[in-house]
């Protein structure tokens, strides 16, 4: 397989990023998406060229839009459940400010809901 422009590698890295952000194990994502765990492993490593149907299954299992598998940026509201997960990653003592910095450093755009 030839991935000259790195598209498959970027998609794979993005899937790993989203999976880890959501605290999902690789095997659990594969089961939830209804795909073989070895297939998911190859996709995450950028060694497979998944179909749109497979990407849609992965996106659904990750509770994201399929476009988020191609784009490393997502806007988050302070009420977003993923932000809460990031906050839990740091523990309650470090609070939401550290969570916001964590998300920013990982390429997310943050905005405040009004």
pLDDT, tens digit (0-9, with 9 covering 90-100), for 37-66 = 999 999 999 999 999 999 999 999 999 999
**pLDDT at residue 71 in the model:** 72
**pLDDT at residue 70 in the model:** 85
- 7-33 pLDDT per residue, tens: 898 999 999 999 998 899 999 999 999
pTM here is 0.63
- CA separation for the pair 68, 63 (Å, rounded): 10
Take residue 38 and report the two structure tokens written for it.
Answer: 């070895």
Structural domains in the chain? 7-69 (1.10.260.40), 75-110 (no CATH)
Provide DSSP, 34-60. TS-HHHHHHHHTT-S---HHHHHHHHH
């Amino acid at each position: 397989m030839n991935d000259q422009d790195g598209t498959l590698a970027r998609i794979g890295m993005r899937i790993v990023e989203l999976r880890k952000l959501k605290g999902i194990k690789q095997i659990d994502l594969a089961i939830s998406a209804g795909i073989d765990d070895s297939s998911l492993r190859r996709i995450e490593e950028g060694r497979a060229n998944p179909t749109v149907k497979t990407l849609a299954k992965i996106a659904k299992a990750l509770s994201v839009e399929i476009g988020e598998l191609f784009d490393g940026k997502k806007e988050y509201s302070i009420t977003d459940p993923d932000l809460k997960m990031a906050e839990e990653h740091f523990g309650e003592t470090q609070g939401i400010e550290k969570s916001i910095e964590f998300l920013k450093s990982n390429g997310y755009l943050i905005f405040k809901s009004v």
